[in-house]
Amino acid sequence: MLRTTFGLLLSLALSTTVFAHCQVPCGIFTDQLRFEQLLEDEQTIAKAQAQINELAGKATGQDINQLTRWVMTKEEHAAKVQETIATYFLAQRIKADSPRYMEQLKAAHAVTVAAMKCKQSTDAATAKALEDAIFNLYRAYEGKEPAFKHSH
């Protein structure tokens, strides 16, 4: 019985997918909110990178525990950036008939690649490059300078 219950729970956990946005025209989310969330994810990545570098080489159990948690946090937020680009911008908002389509597509791709590089590194320059890529996507998408500021 316990095995069956565990197997069912494991199956449910593995089959559950989290999306950054529903794919129906609900009209609830706004582009501005998505950009702000992308920047919040980038700031979390930058903080995680700093904490990982600070904890690197420390050997207490607590330090290793915190180091592991910061690595997981960095990975999670970089994946959230990639998911938002894929499910919100590429699947729903960037349209092939837009006069700025290629510019928007290239900018969205640059954000995805920058998030990948954040996963691969603890160099603060990768978080800065991600932030720059998010601002470049905003410019390509909105056709204007953002009203919000860089954090670095």
With a threshold of 0.75, does the pTM exceed it? yes
- List of the chain residues with pLDDT < 70: 1-29, 150-152
Kindly report the backbone phi and psi dihedral angles of residue 65, in degrees, each rounded to the nearest multiple of 5, phi listed first: -60, -50
Q: What pLDDT score does 19 carry?
A: 42
Q: What pLDDT is attached to residue 41?
A: 98
Show the tokens assigned to 21: 């946005």
Angle between helix axes 101-120 and 31-55 (nearest 10 degrees) is: 20
Instruction: Provide CATH code, domain 30-142.
Output: 1.20.120.400
Q: CA-CA distance, 66 to 12, in Å (whole number)? A: 29
For the chain, the helix, strand and coil percentages under 3-state DSSP, each to the nearest 5: 75, 0, 25
